[in-house]
Structure 1
Amino acid sequence: MHEELENFERNHVWDLVEPPPNRRPIGTKWVFKNGRGEDRMVVRNKARLPGVSSKEGIDYEETFAPVARLEAIRILLAFAASKGFKLQQMDVKSRFPNGFIEEEVYVRQPPGFESARFPDRVYKLRKALYGPKQAPRAWYARLKSFLLKSGFVMGSVDKTLFLLSRGGDTTIVRIYVDDIIFGGSSHALVSSFAERMSGEFEMSLMGELRFFLGPHIKQGPEGTFVHQAKYTRDILKKFDMGDSKPMTTPMSTNTALDADEDGEAASPRTSHRQAVKRIFRYLKFTPELGLWYSSGSSLFLRGFSDADHAGCRIDRKSTSGTCQLLGTSLVSWSSRKQASVSLSTTKRVEGVDNALIKGEIESQWTGLIALLV
């Protein structure tokens, strides 16, 4: 808690002032959390002081802050593997208190740390706290402003991607709230970026990217391997299926799920529960499977699509599936039930189908990939 408040003082987060008339300050409370490493061991004890908004709230206009999509992160991993440079990771300490806010916001003094001389005063915020809805946007605006002043160019499609080109070398930065992935073709440029960030913000340099938003990432000279073995083990343990018999496929080919009106109710029916348990047993069989992004892969964008005919036994709707690859690297995929009912068995010509899906993919990803290339 002392570390958190000392950080507020260093960053000039607030000023202790007399309570303004006709202004209701929002409350504060302490939130504690253990920071854990890849092996789930506690590596840091954290104390955060978020602002707790009341029902009356504070007037504000914008709260949206861009967040990198997982597909975009996979594209960056595939691109980095193809270009042969390793991605690094850094974490911003107390990210939200680095962002300036435009609104006039007052908060009560932290519980247990009230001023002995001025117990009735409140803090007027100069920068954002955790809790208020505009805090993520304020932090993103501060970080974006710093990167643009440092010579980076922001992606025209993806606003969480920043690039810096110097003498034929490139530095790439991807931000996800307070987690920052960066790398480039020049060690000097990458080191310079890390030093500038550490000089502007309080950073934890975590070295080579190994663990990000759940997946494990292993970077090597031949490519990058992404897997979720730890998450798989955790979810099997959570549902007491760690000792279940492994299955080689997630579903039997002769399984046909329907409403099962006569089956025993079990969230929602026994047959449905058994189908889900089959999936868990498949995960037991495949904990180490993952995505391989080869260093020899090209950056050619390809997409594939397919659909069954009236595969749902209940409403006769079809299920469509798509996948998108950057060279040989799978970066995006989807499977969803169609909104309309299939009335025909006519199959589209393969060339037309591929052209349609390729156009859809290019409209979604080409801007990002073109910026990277």
Structure 2
Amino acid sequence: MVVRNKARLVVQAHLEAIRIPLAFAASKGFKLQQIDGKSAFLNGFIEEEVYVRQPPGFESAKFPDRVYKLRKALYGLKQIPRAWFVMGSVDKTVFPLRHGGDTLLIYVDDIIFGGSSHALVSSFAEQMSREFELSLMGELQFFLGLQIKQGPKETFVHQAKYTKDILNKFEMGDSKPMTTLMSTQTALDADEDGEAVDQKEFRGMIGSLFYLTATRPDIQFAVCLCARYQASLRTSHRQVVKRILRYLKYTPELGLWYSSESSQMLTMPAARLTARTSLVSWSSRKQSSVATTNTEAEYIAAASCCSQLLWMKATLSDFGLRFGRIPLLVDSTSAISVAKNPILHSKTKHIDVRFHFLRDRYEKGDIDLIHVSTENPLADILTKPLEFNAFVRLRGNRLEVLTIHSSRERLRANGPASLLSWCDE
């Protein structure tokens, strides 16, 4: 009987924890390599006291009621990676090592590593080879369903193969392509009078599309909107999902472009969009708390964004990056005033206490709330259906969701865009 499906657990990994090392490596100009340690997790000595029951068929006849005390790590234990690497203080899947001014990044389970120093990378590979039997897989190209193409000045991450597999699975490979995800006139609702449809097929589509959002922020809003109606599915809902698939038919090779040349800033709009050339985090979902005013809704969204921003800041600190006040872009002057002006707090007592940590973080100097004009609607692609020109402009020019061919053409012509990215201060 299968008790645990390892592949399923791996797919549920924090995808931002994967995108951040990819973006960091691209910005620093080094390539990631991949190796598979065949016996690495059977040779690590552990410091904790861990006991296991006697395996069936191997019980001791003399001491049948006793347990074994482990001296080395067993595959499947959380102690395995720590037996060999220094774990990051925030992200437990990434193991950054600092040596002088150089950085070595290690991502487990299948070991992905790379560094700013060729000597440091070679030393790590040599040390691992002495200890374990390894399968050298060369330059990182495919990982957790993500296809990765690393060039001298850029890294391109996409899911073209997965996209084609989805289209074939749901018999949409020969469908007519669509240039946009949703019509601007679409108003999706519960449609209680509509015809019910097969839940199994619909939920299969939604589940498949959710993993595709790992590299396709352009479909995030439409997929999340359709996912709200899985409990009571109607024909209108299925039509919208099929239009998403027809859009994928039109754009199967879009992906994230990370450049080695970027401006010196880390920032985040309140829709959780980071970096024009290093997009690593985004979200589109209903708020968990009901807001009574637009100001309250914007304030809650900014607080949620702030928590994600602080997690990213702490994660990057393990890579040796240091930041001062990080700009958080908000398009509501009222929400900024609530966070900055204590006099207004008497009018916001009804807001859930957990959202007021935005004010605390501002006072502590972790973030800086900056108003962004609604004429620069970067977050619109995650909040509403857009007409074709606006959608393509935000998708390509602002989020850098491109094909590998268009990204290289842009790099040759103008160099990378330089709105937002990483830096050392």
TM-score per shorter chain, which class? 0.5 to 0.7
Q: CA deviation at 1:191?
A: 1.5
User: Which structure is higher in helix share?
Assistant: 2
Is 1:172 equivalent to 2:118 in the alignment?
Answer: no
Aligned residue in 2 for 1:74 = 19
Distance in 1 of aligned mates of 2:115 and 2:167 = 38
Letter in 2 for 1:141: Q
Letter in 2 for 1:279: I
Aligned residue in 1 for 2:83 = 145
Q: CA deviation at 1:83?
A: 0.8
Aligned residue in 2 for 1:115 = none
Q: 2:178 aligns with which of 231, 236, 247?
A: 247
Aligned residue in 1 for 2:309 = 362
Distance in 2 of aligned mates of 1:190 and 1:75 = 19
Aligned residue in 2 for 1:44 = none
1:257 match: secondary structure: coil
1:324 match: secondary structure: coil
Is 1:336 equivalent to 2:285 in the alignment?
Answer: yes
1:194 match: secondary structure: helix
Is 1:159 equivalent to 2:92 in the alignment?
Answer: yes
Is 1:85 equivalent to 2:30 in the alignment?
Answer: yes
Q: CA deviation at 1:93?
A: 2.0
Aligned residue in 1 for 2:55 = 107
Is 1:284 equivalent to 2:224 in the alignment?
Answer: no
Letter in 2 for 1:168: G
Q: CA deviation at 1:189?
A: 1.4
1:181 match: secondary structure: strand
| Structure number with higher relative contact order (C-alpha < 8 Å, ≥ 6 residues apart) | 2
8 Å contact from structure 1 (residues 89, 208) kept in 2: yes
Letter in 2 for 1:169: D
Q: 1:146 to 1:95 in 2, by over 3 A?
A: closer
Distance in 2 of aligned mates of 1:93 and 1:125 = 24
The structure that has the greater radius of gyration is 1
Letter in 2 for 1:106: Q
Q: 2:268 aligns with which of 303, 317, 321?
A: 303
Q: 1:205 aligns with which of 121, 136, 152?
A: 136
1:333 match: secondary structure: coil
8 Å contact from structure 1 (residues 215, 226) kept in 2: yes
Distance in 1 of aligned mates of 2:156 and 2:24 = 13
Distance in 1 of aligned mates of 2:190 and 2:301 = 34
Is 1:293 equivalent to 2:255 in the alignment?
Answer: no
Is 1:275 equivalent to 2:240 in the alignment?
Answer: yes
Identity of aligned residues (%): 58
Letter in 2 for 1:296: E
Q: CA deviation at 1:142?
A: 3.4
Q: 1:89 to 1:250 in 2, by over 3 A?
A: same
Distance in 2 of aligned mates of 1:230 and 1:108 = 42
Distance in 1 of aligned mates of 2:243 and 2:56 = 52
1:80 match: secondary structure: helix
1:271 match: secondary structure: helix
Distance in 1 of aligned mates of 2:265 and 2:176 = 40
Q: 1:228 aligns with which of 152, 159, 177?
A: 159
8 Å contact from structure 2 (residues 17, 94) kept in 1: no
8 Å contact from structure 1 (residues 86, 219) kept in 2: yes
Letter in 2 for 1:332: S
Q: CA deviation at 1:143?
A: 3.0
Q: CA deviation at 1:109?
A: 5.3
Q: CA deviation at 1:77?
A: 1.0
Between the two proteins, the alignment pairs up a number of residues equal to 272
Q: CA deviation at 1:300?
A: 2.3
Q: Structure 2: which 5+ residue stretches go unaligned?
A: 200-232, 322-425
Q: 1:360 to 1:147 in 2, by over 3 A?
A: closer
Letter in 2 for 1:198: S
Q: CA deviation at 1:198?
A: 2.5
TM-score (norm 2): 0.56
Distance in 2 of aligned mates of 1:73 and 1:105 = 35
Q: 1:213 to 1:276 in 2, by over 3 A?
A: same
Distance in 2 of aligned mates of 1:182 and 1:298 = 25
1:253 match: secondary structure: coil
Distance in 2 of aligned mates of 1:334 and 1:233 = 24
Aligned residue in 1 for 2:76 = 136
Q: CA deviation at 1:256?
A: 1.2
Q: 1:78 to 1:125 in 2, by over 3 A?
A: same
Distance in 2 of aligned mates of 1:371 and 1:331 = 17
1:35-50 aligned at under 5 Å gives the runs none
Letter in 1 for 2:106: V
Structure 1 stretch 200-209 or stretch 162-171: which is displaced more?
162-171
Distance in 2 of aligned mates of 1:242 and 1:127 = 52
Q: CA deviation at 1:97?
A: 4.3
Deviations 1:243-300 (Å, cap 9, x if unpaired)? 0111111111111122222221103211111111011111111111110111102452
2:105 match: secondary structure: strand
Q: CA deviation at 1:200?
A: 2.2
8 Å contact from structure 2 (residues 35, 138) kept in 1: yes
